Amino acid sequence: MGLPVELRLTSGTALQAFSVPRLGGQIYAMPGMASRFNLRADAEGQFAGLNTQYNGAQFARQHFVAEAVAPADFDAWTATAQAAPPLDGERSPVWPNPACWMRPWPSGASRAIRSTRP
């Protein structure tokens, strides 16, 4: 809260468009390219996010909630996330439908996106 958070995004499949309108707009994530995106919240809260790029059958389900928290809560979350195995490592979750990439994280996994809608 009050500080920018930088995200580095890429896609392993089709073109994606990551968006949290109330925190900073939209950026594309493309296969083979890393995009950087800064978000900033001036108050704690939950903010709607979505993929705005049509990319297949599950497109309409690609919504999530970005959560802005106090600095101490963010520091605690960061410590937990850094201690977890990498999401692109051997213990990564494997989704049954790779076109739907915004799903609830399994128990114990790092949460780059803190919550999602089913």
59-103 pLDDT per residue, tens: 788 888 989 999 899 889 888 888 887 766 555 455 454 444 444
Mean pLDDT of the chain: 76
Contact 83, 69 (CB under 8 A): no
pLDDT of 53 = 86
CATH superfamily, domain 5-116, is Cupredoxins -  blue copper proteins (2.60.40.420)
Residue 117 has pLDDT above 70, yes or no: no
φ and ψ at 31, to 5 degrees?
-60, 135
Sheet of 115-116: strands edge to edge? 25-29, 16-20, 45-51, 63-68, 115-116
Q: Which residues are CB-contacts of 1 (< 8 A; sequence separation ≥ 6)?
A: 41, 42, 43, 44, 68, 69, 70, 71, 74
pLDDT of 107 = 47
pLDDT of 15 = 87
CA distance 109 to 93: 8
- Looking at residue 60, the DSSP 8-state letter turns out to be G
For the chain, give the percent of residues with pLDDT over 90. 15
| Model confidence, pTM | 0.64
